[in-house]
Amino acid sequence: MRLVVAGSPAAAVPTLDALAAGPHEIVRVITRPASPLGRKRVITPTPVAQAAERHGIPVVEAARLADVQAELLELEVDLGVIVAYGGLVRAPLLQWPRLGWINLHFSLLPAWRGAAPVQRAIMAGEERTGATVFQLTEGLDEGDWYARLEEPIGAHRTAGALLESLSNSGAALTARVVDELAAGTAVARPQEGEVTLAPKLVREDARIHWDSPVDAVHARVRGVTPEPGAFTTIIGSDAVLKVLEAAPAREAAPLAPGRLALLDGRPLVGTASQPLELLRVQPAGKPAMPAVDWARGLDAAALPELA
């Protein structure tokens, strides 16, 4: 079959790699435009654009598919495959490929429809999630599904680590569905179950609420790591402290929410239940460091409170 693949971040690269290694022809890769990255703001192509270049596949950069509609509609395409492109596919492009579009979504649909399914599942304290390949329709992640896989979230995995795992297993799942569609053996099933939504994360989603139970605080830290990154502020200075890694300190005595204490040099912060131990942090204006190193520089007689 002749395919077009749309995607942008690193999570979409395994699917592009899997399809490029298969028997089908990828006639175009569509991705978001290159953007400035890093302290030097170097204009950098998306990870998908870089992968397409390695495979020698022509790339179309577009902030909106409508901007390149005329160019795309001239191509004869059997199937569109989309993974985290970052934009909507609307008519007439939605009906343009002979078999329409399939989408790899990182949840067990209809759970966590939207832009941040992995992050929201972790933040909600879910124990399992997965990946679903479904037929793209005009509704938000509403189409019938072809294949899915389940994966435990685990007690310590961050959104970044879980997304990396699902992007690899989901790539093989997507390639299998493409083969089945080519062979005419793919079977689509309607989505069933409770619908939940996973809207895009904003900075305020990453603020730690110390008055929540420790498992909820830990889940929020993991759900927003690495992006946008969990943070708290130090009362009295409003300085931001980024929390890069933490873990519940179930053996420690309770502390008032936001109160910082040291246990054998380990920084613990009170929550509504047990304390949370800070393992790795980044103070304002400084590089990331082990939390014990940050705590060593504090005045033990006047430890700050966090909010």
Binding site listing for (6S)-5,6,7,8-tetrahydrofolate: 107-110
Question: Which DSSP string corresponds to the chain?
Answer: -EEEEEE-SGGGHHHHHHHHTSSSEEEEEEEPPPEEETTTTEEE--HHHHHHHHHT--EEE-SSGGGGHHHHHTS--SEEEEES-SS---TTGGG-STT-EEEEESSSTTTTBSS-HHHHHHHTT-SEEEEEEEE--SSTT-S-EEEEEEEE--SS--HHHHHHHHHHHHHHHHHHHHHHHHHT----B---S---B-PPP-GGGGB--TTS-HHHHHHHHHHTTTTT--EEEETTTTEEEEEEEEEE-TTSPP--TTBEEEETTEEEE--SSS-EEEEEEEETTS--EEHHHHHHTS-GGGPPBB-
Task: Give binding residues as ranges.
Answer: 107-110
Contact between residue 159 and residue 223 where contact means Cβ atoms under 8 Å apart:
yes
